[in-house]
Structure formats: C-alpha cells, structure tokens
Amino acid sequence: MADSFWSLFEEWLAEGRQDPRVRQRLAGDFRRAWLAGDREDRYAVLDFVRRERLTSGYDLIIQGARSDDAGLALHAVAIAWFLIGNGASFDQSMQGVLEDFGRRFPGNRALSDSALRRMVEGADGQA
C-alpha cells in the first residue's frame, strides 16, 4: 500500500492507469495531499491534475505558480502552459500570476510569456 500521494500516483502510472479504484482514491486525496505540503506530493498533485484535466484542481496550479519554491512554481507554470495550449480556461487571476512569475523568475520568463500569449489567443478565439 502506498503511503504518500506521490507513491500512489507513481504506482498508478506504472500500472498503466488501469485501476479505476486507484484513480478514485487519487481524485479524493489530491487536495488533502496538497494541503499537507510535502514537496513531492505537490509535484504529483500537479501532474495528476494535468493528466486528468481536473478543472477542480486548477486553483492548485495557480497556487503552485505563486510558490516561493522556484522548481514547484516552474512546474506549475509549465503545466498551465500545456493546459492552456490544449484549450483549458483559468480564471482571470492566472494572468497576474503568470506576470508575477516572470518578474520573480526572469530566467523562466519566456515560459510565462508564452502561456500569457496562449491565454490571449484562446480568449480571442472564443470571442
């Protein structure tokens, strides 16, 4: 039995995401795992939200992008970039979060700028 969200997620991936009971457990535990604050679990939560396109977890991507942990923030912004590019919609606070990320981590600003462009292009396409 897995003892962390990370290990359960890794087990689920290794099994080819076949067991719906494990997916249900992950879906039920992802927010609790995020709140517990373990770094590895937070990475796994973000990956689970991305893989499953869980709109109910998009707020955690925003929280991750706001993180002072540069690696976690970069991971969250990369996931936002991917999701936005695949048609996902975030609330308007994401624009400010991406702009702030670019200021805080100028070495990774190209990624947040690209995500911002994708947001604008997506909004223009829906208008």
48 and 87, same domain (yes or no): no
Contact indicator for 44, 33 with CB cutoff of 8 Å: yes
* Amino acid 16: pLDDT: 85
Q: Same structural domain for residues 77 and 123? A: yes
Residues 81 and 44 in one domain: no
User: Is the Cβ–Cβ distance between 104 and 76 less than 8 Å?
Assistant: no
Query: Are 9 and 61 contained in the same domain?
Result: no
Q: How far is residue 10's CA from residue 93's CA, in Å, rounded to a whole number?
A: 31
Average pLDDT of span 57-61 = 97
- The identity of residue 88, as a single letter, is A
Statement: residue 11 has pLDDT above 50: yes
Shared domain check, 48 and 8: yes
**Average model confidence (pLDDT) across the chain:** 92
**66 and 118 belong to one structural domain:** yes
Q: Are residues 68 and 9 in the same domain?
A: no
Same domain, residue pair 43 and 98: no
108-117 residue pLDDT tens: 999 999 999 9
Regarding whether 23 and 11 lie in a shared domain, the answer is yes
**Domain range holding 67?**
55-127
In whole angstroms, give the CA distance from residue 66 to residue 112.
Answer: 12
85-to-36, 46, 60 alpha-carbon distances in Å: 30, 16, 18
- Residues 61, 47 share a domain: no
Q: How many domains does the chain have?
A: 2
For CA atoms 24, 29, 31, 37, the dihedral sign is negative
Q: Which tens digits make up the pLDDT trace of 34-45?
A: 999 799 999 999
Same domain, 46 and 5: yes
